[in-house]
Amino acid sequence: MAAPPAVLERSFIEICGFERETVHRFREVTVNLGLSALPGGVKFPDSAGAFHYVESGKLLSVTSNRFIHWSTSGDTVQLLEQSLDTNLLNNAVRLKFSHCTVLPGGVNIQETLNNVIILVSTNQSIHRLVLPHPSRMYRSELVTELHMQSIFTDVMKLSLQDQSHSAVIPVSPVGQTGSPSTSTAWLSQSGEAHYALASPAGGIMVLTLPPHDTPGGVSVLELKRSSMMQRLSGWMPSAIRGEQSPADLVLSLAVRELEEDSFIFALCQDHKLRMWSFREQACLLEADMLEYMPACKGVKRLAGQGHRLRLAFSSTTGLCLCVYLAVPQRGQFTVLQLVATDNNRYSLDHISSLFTTQETLVDFTLTTTDIWGVWVDESNTTVVKYINFEHNAAGQWNQVFVQPPPEEEIHIGEDQDPREKYLEVLFSPLHFTASAIVKALQIYRRGSERITDVSWESLKKEVTVAVETELQSSVTEFEFSQEEYRQLQVEFWSKFYACCLQYQEALSMPLGLTVSQHTSMVCLLKKGFVSFLLPCFAVDHLYLSYDEYLFSEEETPITEDPEVGRDVLQLVQCLRLVSDAVSGEMAYEMESALEHLQSPERAAELVLENMLSNDNENVIEDIQNKLQDIRNPMAAMMVLLREMDLETDSEVGGDGPITPGQTLNMRISLSQLYGSSSAVSLVCQAVCHMTMTRALFCRDLLILQKLYLRFGDNVFLGGGAQLLQLQQDLIPRSSHLLSSYHLLKHISQSLASSVPVDIIDANLQHLTVLELSDTPAVSTNRSVLSPQTVVELFYQTAARRIIMSQIFSQQTHSVLHWSHMISTVVQLLAQLLWPSNPGFQFPECLMANCQYTQLQEYVRLIGPWCQVNIGSCRFMLGQCYLANGEGQKALQCFQEAATEVEKEEFLMRLTGSEEEEPAASTPRLQYYNKVLRLLEDVGLPELVIQLASRAITEAASDVNSQAALWTRIFKHHLDLGHNSEAYEALTQNPDCSMQLDCLRQLVVVLCERSQLQDLVQFSYVNLHDEVVSIIESRARGLDLLAHNYYELLYAFHINRHNYRKAGTVMFEFGMRLGREVRTRLGLQKQVNCYLAALNCLRLIRPEYAWIVQPASGATYERPGASPKRNSDGEFSTEPVKRQVDILELKDLEKEYILSRSRLTLAQHHPPSAAIAGGASAVEMVALLVQTGLFDSALSVCQTFKLNLTSVFEGLTFKCIKLQFGGEESQNEAWSWLATNQLSSVVNTKESSATDEAWRLLATYLDRYPSANGQHHRCVINKLLSHGVPLPDWLVKSYKAVDAASLLRLLLNFDLLDAAAELVLEYVDALLGRGHQYFGIERPLSATSSSVWLPYTSIDQLLQTLNETQTNSSIYNKVRDKLDDYHRLVEQTTKRRLVAR
């Protein structure tokens, strides 16, 4: 429910709707009919008028609150279409009629169903503009745009010189000179345009243009008085009387269509009113106006140059005329009613005569009930008054409080900078139009360049630069004191300010007045802008009233009790005396005290002290005398305070319910009502003026109350009890109201800042985090050039919607009555802004639109005295600090706001929209969650930690909230690198699953950051197994080379002296490396792993030095894997029970050797790394031999107890290749030769790679002896199989080991000569010659052990030799040698036998 409407008085107050742009963008249209200027051209004063659409008072109309106003000056007509609901585009046009002068009354606008037609009369031509009607420009009735095209959009397309649009006034055949003095025009029902012009020779000339869509020329008709009428009136031609101008020269014309006829009313120079019938071309009525004027002697002789005539028609009263007779010192308005008698005769009934002493009437308007007039007095001040012509108190006019011009001098406090103060006044939204400042700037800069389309901010800069440049160019000295510079600043700024004042005064010159008959909206048309007259609230009326009115009033609408009413009026008279007594300096001091949050009561006492000490004119005594006349001052004060207090019990519109059943049309119209930039400016300026007036009212009332306390019983009839009530109740209330109105005054003049897009985006993100992003959207329709205040911003984005839905939730009629609507809107807006009301929409709007500086100032100003929404204000202040990067201060504010969470609507809304996480147990915790999210969004982890720590104390009984908060603290400590604190937070977490999540995160993050020292050293009380499990699962689940979880686990176990587990970890790591990372790097790591594992086992007592063989990779349990299904989603088979393998130290050593050999291979032959990774010992030996790494191959063979044959064979083959290879193979050989350790034999001559290879083979044969010379045999076998002659050293060394085997080998390869040679040598050795070469210790003798010969082989040799003819000599040699041997054996045998 809305608050009770404020009490309205009969007076009005002027509110200037300054234009929103620097300069109106008028489009120029020149109409040139080829005329030349008339000689001795008459100059007519500038004039203005307005046209209101018929449906301007209908809510659901496209023309609601829409009107056209114009001004004329010389040959120019400026037309401007304006709407209070939407912003009209292309709405300004300037028509220039070459060599013509626009006549008084020369602009008339009428609407038809399809068109708006503008009729213009000049002294030489008549013109018609046919424009589309707004309702025809929009096919649909639903107009949802904030901007609409004006009817002037396509005016440039009209060809105004055409015959259908313009015509030249024909020259009179009699040869009269001079031009028409006044005119009017109208549109007949058939669509013809009629122009009535006052003929210079008297009478009226009517020109008619056919309907605009019908061809045809202009027709002329002259209305002259017939001789009969002349005789009846005793009229004789003026020429006979010798006067300069005819008596029936028309001064003012008006037309009304009645009953298919047009009546033309002409007020003439001879003070007579004549009514002509256009249809009958006859004068139907003539009346002498002097008959209605008392004491009219002498007036008859005066020519009535300033007489005016206005008409008003209503269906109830018929046609009323108002004639203004301009008589020096006593102008008179006469209201007459046209009465029709039978036989087509008419008469006039006198309704009333009203007098005025104002000198110069500028314009007046007649409505069906009132006369509105605007005058200019001797000091060039505008005076506006109105009166009900039928019901008025003794002819007393009602007041209209016009806006005074800006102060001529600006008071600058000692603590203020002159430049800032002047800029503040110049660019405040109240005093100066942009046009005045632009013109002053051009003059000040001596017109060096034109200023077009400058935004408000740039204009401010331009002004500053211009004044400062002027100041600096005038300075001749290089140094002067601060005070001198300040004086210079004041001097130059005041010069510029004076220039602005002059232009503002010129632009404020009144030209006309208009009252809409549909909405009763009253506008004052001035040279530079339009101002609106708003009904005055009763309190403001009392304070603003002129003295003569105030002292003559007997009752006030504020109270129904006549006694209290009289007391109120007396009290206000006292307040006026107080107001007059407060000097400008003291007023400034009081303002300053409020600005600096000092006590208003104390400030009022200081002002009172000053008044008492400077009371030269006995004002205090006058006040005291008046106070004694007040019977019940307490009641009077209570009435005034109650009327000024805007506090309401109810919430002023939450979102304002749209009444169910309202049509879509209705809702769309409401969405635009009073939404144009001029309406925004108007409403907010009205609030500003109201708050300024009431702030002064409260100030004076507070001073008066302090004066009461000082007078005490002298003026109080009731004595002590009333004084106590005054002190304890009324003074604090006045003080509170004063602070409230000072705040409203401040914000209604505080300009909004323009905000960069990135800040808007960031802010929108914060609001989304707070789930407040559905608050009124950031204003996108602000005019770039607009000097928009924060209150205008609020009204535009949020308040207007709330206000409209509130007004129309109670009333369903759609007639827009100006006085009622505008005063309700102003009152509701003021209530929405009122700090003591529970609604918090205004600060919310400031926050949503990033007006942080203004919001901070708002919170500062209400801080000491406002007890409503304290927590919400702290929250808003926190938001401001956050936006300005002052996080610590923001946190402080957020914490202070927490105490009010359950008490204030805004904070309850903030906490009530928790959706994502399970709702916290208390609103305060929900609030903390919101703020924590906001701080996280802004990126302030330190503050998140501080606030979460505080929130934990609130969540003592709520385990879930505690767990969530500890998790948050852990996360941010971890992000900040506070590892110990993060670990601490993790251990405090009461929720096991969250604790495990945090632990997992801790492990992962510290690993990624390589902060392993911290990770290993934490104690992990009750979490040891979990940590191991986490690291193991990470180790097994991730890439081995990219992550070092195995090393971490190893370090973890080593740190806790668990060597066997450490060994197991490294062994598993090594195994996986062998399987998964078949690269040189992987092999290197594997070697290191096995070494580390060996080290670990060697640190344990031997009986415990074993580990369990880790399972192969496929059987690892993946973390999070389904226990029942495999990776394809199929049910897995029952796990097979596996045998556990135990590995001891020797097993690990084997693995190490094998691994090291793989690495060696990979180092010398990188391509084999991929093969070597999974190769067994046997395969490794083959690979090593192939690469030439014989040392490594032998090492593997010995470790795994493998036969060395393959090594010797491989080396032999390499020797063969070298022996028969070219130089290239020699060079290659050095690389593998270098990898094997040769025994260092000093060699005098340079040896080749082949020599070195044979030497290596010889060394190995020596180093690795084998049973029965197996190694020699395989070497020789290899050589012989490749047809390589045996080296002597080889034969020599093998002879000594196994000559028989050598013989068999030679025979196998058919080397008969060598075999025969060997047999001969062997037999010689047995016989004692060279026996040491065959490893025979003692040759054949009776005393030595028995000797033997390989007879089978020898027989084979002999057989073969015998069969071949070529070897007979060798055969004989062998045969002979054997015979010798046998003889000796026989002898020896006999001797042995004998010896037995």
Residue 1100 has a CB neighbour count (10 Å cut-off) of 15
Q: How far is CA 694 from the centre of its chain?
A: 36
DSSP class per residue in 171-219: PPTT---S--S-EEEEE-TTS-EEEEEE-TTSSEEEEEE--TTS----E
What's the average model confidence in pLDDT over 1324-1337? 72
Q: Give the amino acid at 961.
A: S
What pLDDT band is residue 48 in, cutting at 50, 70 and 90? Answer: very high
Q: Judging by beta carbons within 10 Å of its beta carbon (0-12, 13-18, 19+), is residue 275 exposed, middle or buried?
A: buried
Query: Of 96-110, 239-253, 1045-1059, 1320-1334, where does the model show the most confidence?
Result: 96-110
Please tell me the predicted confidence (pLDDT) of residue 243. 45
Phi, psi of 496 (to 5 degrees): -65, -40
Whether 1365 has a pLDDT exceeding 70, the answer reads no
The DSSP element (H or E) to which 389 belongs, if any, is: none
Select the more confidently predicted residue: 476 or 219. 219
Condensed to tens digits (0 to 9), the pLDDT of residues 1011-1062 reads 888 878 888 888 888 888 887 888 888 887 777 788 888 888 888 898 889 8
Condensed to tens digits (0 to 9), the pLDDT of residues 1169-1207 reads 778 777 888 888 888 787 778 788 888 888 888 887 888
Please tell me the predicted confidence (pLDDT) of residue 1127. 54
Beta sheet of 193-198, edge-to-edge order? 183-187, 193-198, 204-209, 219-223
Please tell me the predicted confidence (pLDDT) of residue 140. 52
What pLDDT band is residue 237 in, cutting at 50, 70 and 90? Answer: very low
Condensed to tens digits (0 to 9), the pLDDT of residues 588-604 reads 899 999 999 999 999 99
DSSP class per residue in 971-995: HHHHHHT-HHHHHHHHHH---HHHH
Report, in this order, helix, strand and coil percent for the chain, each rounded to 5.
50, 15, 35
The torsion angle over the Cα atoms of residues 667, 669, 670 and 672, rounded to 10 degrees, is 130
Considering only CA atoms, which of 1183, 1222, 1178 is closest in space to residue 1201? 1178
Please tell me the predicted confidence (pLDDT) of residue 202. 85
Strands 8-17 and 398-401: parallel
Q: Report the residue count for the chain.
A: 1396
Provide the sign of the torsion angle of the four alpha carbons 585, 591, 594, 596, taken in this order. negative
Angle, in degrees to the nearest 10, between helices 1024-1037 and 1045-1055? 150
In this structure, what token pair is assigned to residue 41? Answer: 């051209």
**Candidate from 652-661, 1127-1136, 1168-1177 with smallest mean pLDDT:** 652-661
Which residue has 């211009």 as its token pair? 466
Condensed to tens digits (0 to 9), the pLDDT of residues 162-215 reads 888 899 998 765 445 678 889 999 999 889 999 999 988 888 999 999 998 888
The DSSP element (H or E) to which 1142 belongs, if any, is: strand 1142-1144
In this structure, what token pair is assigned to residue 395? Answer: 């002819």
Residue 1134 has a CB neighbour count (10 Å cut-off) of 5
The DSSP element (H or E) to which 261 belongs, if any, is: strand 261-268
Question: How far is the CA of 201 from the CAs of 207, 225, 271, 305, 918, in angstroms?
Answer: 16, 12, 17, 16, 93
CA distance 1339 to 1344: 7
**Mean pLDDT, rounded, of the chain:** 83
Please tell me the predicted confidence (pLDDT) of residue 1117. 46
Select the more confidently predicted residue: 181 or 721. 181
In this structure, what token pair is assigned to residue 853? Answer: 């500086």
Beta sheet of 102-111, edge-to-edge order? 102-111, 115-122, 125-132, 166-168
Q: Contact, 548 vs 528, CB < 8 A?
A: no
Q: What angle do CA 323, 329, 331 make, to 5 degrees?
A: 10
Query: Of 664-673, 1071-1080, 1129-1138, 1246-1255, where does the model show the most confidence?
Result: 1071-1080
Whether 1119 has a pLDDT exceeding 50, the answer reads no
1056-1059: long-range contacts at Cβ-Cβ below 8 A with a sequence spacing of 24 or more?
A: 1059/1096, 1059/1097, 1059/1099, 1059/1100
Query: Of 375-384, 1077-1086, 1137-1146, where does the model show the most confidence?
Result: 375-384
Condensed to tens digits (0 to 9), the pLDDT of residues 949-993 reads 998 888 888 888 899 999 999 999 999 999 999 989 989 989 889
Question: How far is the CA of 719 from the CAs of 260, 620, 630, 639, 709, in angstroms?
Answer: 75, 20, 14, 20, 11
Considering only CA atoms, which of 1007, 689, 673, 945 is closest in space to residue 825? 673
Considering the entire predicted model, what is its pTM? 0.79
Beta sheet of 27-31, edge-to-edge order? 27-31, 92-97, 76-83, 66-73, 47-52
Question: How far is the CA of 1147 from the CAs of 3, 115, 1069, in angstroms?
Answer: 95, 108, 16
Which residue has 């080829």 as its token pair? 34
Phi, psi of 420 (to 5 degrees): -60, -40
Plot region of 318 (φ>0 → left; ψ -120 to 50 → alpha; else → beta): left
CA distance 602 to 607: 9
In this structure, what token pair is assigned to residue 1039? Answer: 């890439």
Residue 263 has a CB neighbour count (10 Å cut-off) of 21
Q: How many CA atoms lie within 13 A of 1105 on its CB side?
A: 17
Please tell me the predicted confidence (pLDDT) of residue 784. 41
Question: How far is the CA of 1271 from the CAs of 960, 1210, 1288, in angstroms?
Answer: 79, 12, 16
What's the average model confidence in pLDDT over 604-609? 93
Q: How far is CA 1372 from the centre of its chain?
A: 119
CA distance 12 to 513: 14
Phi, psi of 571 (to 5 degrees): -65, -40
Q: Give the amino acid at 395.
A: G
Q: Contact, 193 vs 128, CB < 8 A?
A: yes
Please tell me the predicted confidence (pLDDT) of residue 229. 45
Question: How far is the CA of 188 from the CAs of 111, 121, 131, 1023, 1067, in angstroms?
Answer: 11, 17, 17, 100, 111
Q: Give the amino acid at 601.
A: E
In this structure, what token pair is assigned to residue 1157? Answer: 């050999």
Query: Of 135-139, 260-264, 350-354, 693-697, where does the model show the most confidence?
Result: 693-697
The torsion angle over the Cα atoms of residues 1055, 1059, 1060 and 1061, rounded to 10 degrees, is 10
In this structure, what token pair is assigned to residue 622? Answer: 């006058």
Please tell me the predicted confidence (pLDDT) of residue 227. 38
Question: How far is the CA of 243 from the CAs of 240, 250, 288, 956, in angstroms?
Answer: 8, 15, 20, 106
The DSSP element (H or E) to which 257 belongs, if any, is: strand 250-258
CA distance 245 to 203: 12
**Candidate from 6-15, 694-703, 771-780, 1159-1168 with smallest mean pLDDT:** 771-780
Q: How far is CA 859 from the centre of its chain?
A: 22
Q: Tell me, what DSSP letter sits at residue 1110? A: P
Considering only CA atoms, which of 1269, 1217, 1186, 1184 is closest in space to residue 1194? 1184
Q: Tell me, what DSSP letter sits at residue 269? A: T
In this structure, what token pair is assigned to residue 222? Answer: 């002259």
